[in-house]
């Protein structure tokens, strides 16, 4: 079951899944098919520009102090691991690791000292430089979304219904470097040439079978896509046991937002990501696989300890509500930031309310869905409340970066 496809066949979508349907007549579908990427937001970070520290939003942090201190400690540990020669670029300015270490230590001291919010804000204004992420739509805003540790049902072996594997990293997968001269993040060598690995549709069609890569099996490719976009997950087996999985590489293909495509084509209304996954899972006659395969990007996993916490791109556990995923080119890792936006809050009756908030956070992660577009993904943690709130989080807002003078 099913045949292995050649790497160039219809973006890796099995021929049996290419039957005509209403989506094929949508003009945006042609754009989707021909574009290298199709992000879920048009707003991108054009630049980060200096911003007067005294004009930072008033501090009214909406989370507990312990999480903030943990995030700042993570930043300090990150910079302690970097050699003195390591530098980052923010806007037109450059910052070396020693200055970042000292700034991270000072931030931790300020927020550990029992100062009032006004005193903390004054400390930032006096001792640090601030920058603001500037979007290319003229609004000076960025788009905030949420992600979480997903839990999905799975089986240890394939069954008549659970026939889609969650794959471990292939032995031939390589993390690319600038010296390779390619514009993708992962790939493999074919005839001595670095190329992207199999597209998602080819993998779902069995392109990696026989290599012993299957960590578990799912009845729904949409559930696999959920875990991939979140970057980590809990696989729950029928007997109640579970394993945890985390990111371990990708196939090198650019992310394409199937949810945005279906919205642009009028098939679905605007909905949160949780409801979108449920919508995909209800599709019949192979359509779920076809729609999921329209996004050619595939994330490979590694199995983690059962009590392990989700890790970010910098290799440390994420701090719920404080760790954010960014595009590390304009917004490097290991930075303290101030974000101001609007968030969903789960209600006891199952509904949601929304409220404005201002919060300190730190850049600890990235993700395929936010490469290129200027978005900020806030890590929510795990559990039903985190799932509901993170899936419904999408709002414009302000992002300020805190850097040494």
pLDDT digits (tens, 9 = 90+) for 294-322: 999 999 999 999 999 999 999 999 999 99
pLDDT value of position 278: 96
- Tokens 């470097």: give the residue: 177
pLDDT value of position 2: 31
* 45-144+312-404: CATH number: 2.40.40.10
H or E element at residue 235: strand 232-236
- Tens of pLDDT, residues 257-284: 999 999 999 999 999 999 999 999 999 8
Render the burial of 376-402: b for 16+ CB within 10 Å, e for the rest: bbbbbbbeeebbbbbbbbbbbbbbbbb
Degrees, nearest 5: CA angle 394-397-401: 120
Which of the residues in the chain have pLDDT under 70? 1-21, 42-46, 59, 136-139, 369-374
The structural domains of the chain, with segments of one domain joined by +, span 10-42+152-304, 45-144+312-404
pLDDT value of position 9: 38
pLDDT value of position 1: 25
Closest CA to 322 of 403, 376, 256: 376
- Tens of pLDDT, residues 49-61: 899 988 888 767 8
SS3 104: helix
Sign for the pseudo-dihedral over CA of 295, 300, 306, 307: negative
Please name the fold of domain 10-42+152-304.
Answer: Ribosomal Protein L25; Chain P (2.40.240)
pLDDT value of position 398: 92
Q: At what angle do helices 221-230 and 273-281 cross, to 10 degrees?
A: 160
- Tens of pLDDT, residues 225-249: 999 999 999 999 999 999 999 999 9
């Amino acid at each position: 079951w099913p045949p292995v496809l050649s790497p160039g066949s219809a973006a890796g979508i099995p021929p049996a899944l290419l039957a005509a349907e209403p989506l094929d007549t949508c003009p945006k579908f042609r754009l989707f098919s021909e574009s290298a990427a199709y992000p879920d937001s048009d707003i991108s970070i054009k630049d980060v520009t200096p911003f007067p520290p005294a004009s930072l939003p008033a501090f009214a942090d909406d989370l507990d102090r312990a999480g903030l201190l943990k995030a700042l400690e993570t930043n300090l540990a990150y910079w302690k691991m970097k050699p003195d020669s390591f530098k980052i670029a923010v806007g037109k300015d450059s910052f070396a690791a020693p200055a970042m270490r000292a700034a991270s230590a000072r931030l931790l001291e300020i927020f550990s000292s029992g100062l009032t919010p006004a005193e903390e804000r004054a400390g930032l204004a006096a001792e640090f430089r601030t920058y603001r992420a500037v979007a290319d739509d003229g609004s000076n805003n960025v788009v905030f979304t949420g992600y979480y540790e997903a839990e999905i049902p799975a089986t240890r072996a394939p069954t008549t219904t659970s026939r889609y594997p969650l794959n471990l990293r292939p032995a031939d997968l390589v993390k690319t470097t600038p010296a390779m001269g390619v514009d993708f993040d992962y790939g493999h060598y074919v005839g001595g040439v670095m190329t992207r690995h199999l597209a998602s549709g080819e993998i779902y069609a069995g392109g990696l079978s026989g290599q012993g890569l299957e960590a578990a099996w799912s009845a729904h490719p949409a559930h696999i896509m959920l875990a991939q976009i979140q970057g980590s997950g809990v696989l729950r087996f029928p007997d109640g046991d579970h394993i945890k999985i985390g990111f371990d590489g990708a196939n090198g293909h650019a992310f394409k937002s199937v949810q945005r495509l279906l919205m642009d084509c009028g098939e679905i209304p605007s909905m949160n990501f949780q409801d979108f996954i449920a919508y995909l899972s209800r599709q019949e006659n192979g359509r779920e696989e076809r729609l999921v395969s329209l996004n050619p990007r595939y994330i490979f996993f590694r199995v983690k300890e059962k009590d392990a916490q989700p890790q970010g791109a910098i290799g440390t556990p994420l701090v719920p509500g404080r760790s954010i995923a960014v595009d590390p080119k304009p917004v490097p890792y290991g930075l303290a930031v101030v974000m101001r936006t609007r968030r969903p809050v789960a209600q006891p009756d199952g509904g949601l309310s929304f409220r404005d908030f201002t919060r300190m956070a730190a850049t600890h992660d990235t993700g395929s869905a936010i490469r290129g577009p200027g978005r900020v993904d806030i890590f929510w943690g795990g559990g039903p409340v985190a799932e509901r709130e993170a899936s419904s989080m999408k709002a414009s807002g302000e992002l300020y970066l805190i850097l040494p003078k």
